[in-house]
Amino acid sequence: MDKAIGRLRRLPEITCVFPKTLGEALSLLKKHKGAARPFAGGTDLLTKMKRREVVPKLLVDLKRVRDLSYIKYDKKSGLRIGAATTLAEILESRIARKHCPILVEAVSQMASPQIRNTGTIGGNLCNAVPSADTAPPLIAAGAHLKLVGLNRKARTVSAEDFFKGPNKTVLGPIELLSEIQIPPASSHSSGTYLKHTLRREMDLAIVGVATHLTVDSKKDACKDVRIVLGAVAPVPMRAKNAEGALRGKIISDELIEKAAEIASKESKPIDDIRGSAEYRKEMVRVLTKRTLKKCVGT
């Protein structure tokens, strides 16, 4: 038995190719099906390779692929972010800050400046770890993801439906995430993301909660709401019962307390080295309450 399994080791000799177009990248994945692995920043992949959790024979570097790194906005389609856009670029973008502040807030709590300068939003999503910070705010904002296959054949899935389990997504073996699509925010809406960690910076979330709230300005009632929990289930999950308790009702401190308690009961955490299931449930309650209060400005 290899006693070094799970430890960081030197990377094995490996071939890396640098396609310049999506078509070229997809052709390489088809040609080396099962042996090739696409990546952009590599901040998660290289660590897995050092632990021998994955051992691809070919790395397909997407950083030179045209049309994968951008941040655009128009009133009709909303915010568009290329999958190879770095986290630092999102954090520094005035466009992203104006049109999806909940995502920028989440990115600001991620990793170190060095990792944000290299890691990409597409990589964070495709890695599909339950504690990924970009997933809850994107789901809360109603985002969709554009997936591209051979011959530019594209399909769009909601961010909510993209995840199938830890390290598992709906991406096919010859398919790449190309774009994150975030619809224009409704009037009288706001969103926020909070996470609990042992340290203030760089830690993975023990619990993360993203809340996006739209109110009826005339009635002071909840018109629509999405509450998304991270790190408390195999995939990022919406607290739909908690949402239902709020939708259509006048928002009050008592109602917020009730919704937070419901969200806690909906969560499905496990015990692990970073926290017990019981502790995580309590933090879901606390963070749900805080995000709702922040959204309503109290």
pLDDT by 10s per residue, the chain, length 298: 344 445 778 877 889 999 999 999 999 999 998 899 999 999 999 888 988 888 899 999 999 998 899 999 999 999 999 999 999 999 999 999 999 999 999 999 998 999 999 999 999 999 999 999 999 999 999 999 999 999 889 999 999 999 999 999 999 999 999 999 999 998 899 999 999 998 766 688 999 999 999 999 877 899 999 999 999 999 999 999 999 999 999 999 999 999 999 999 999 999 998 899 999 999 999 999 999 999 998 7
pLDDT of residue 4: 45
d(CA 103, CA 134): 7
Q: Would you state the CATH architecture of domain 15-61?
A: 2-Layer Sandwich (3.30)
d(CA 129, CA 290): 24
Q: What is the pTM of this model?
A: 0.94
pLDDT tens digits for range 54-76: 889 999 999 999 889 999 999 99
Fold assignment, 71-182: 3.30.465
pLDDT of residue 6: 57
Instruction: Tell me the DSSP string of the chain.
Output: --TTTTS--PPPP-EEE--SSHHHHHHHHHHTTTTEEEESS-TTHHHHHHTTS---SEEEE-TT-TTSS-EEEETTTEEEEETT-BHHHHHH-HHHHHH-HHHHHHHHTSS-HHHHHH-BHHHHHHH--TT-SSHHHHHHTT-EEEEEEGGG-EEEEEHHHHEEETTEES--TTEEEEEEEEPPPPTTEEEEEEEE-SSSSSPPPSEEEEEEEEEETTTTEEEEEEEEEESSSSS-EE-HHHHHHHTTSB--HHHHHHHHHHHHHH-----BTTB-HHHHHHHHHHHHHHHHHHHHT-
- The residues spanned by each domain of the chain are 15-61, 71-182, 191-296
Q: For 191-296, give the CATH class.
A: alpha beta
pLDDT of residue 3: 42
Residue 14 in contact with residue 58, Cβ under 8 Å? yes
Length, in residues, of the chain: 298
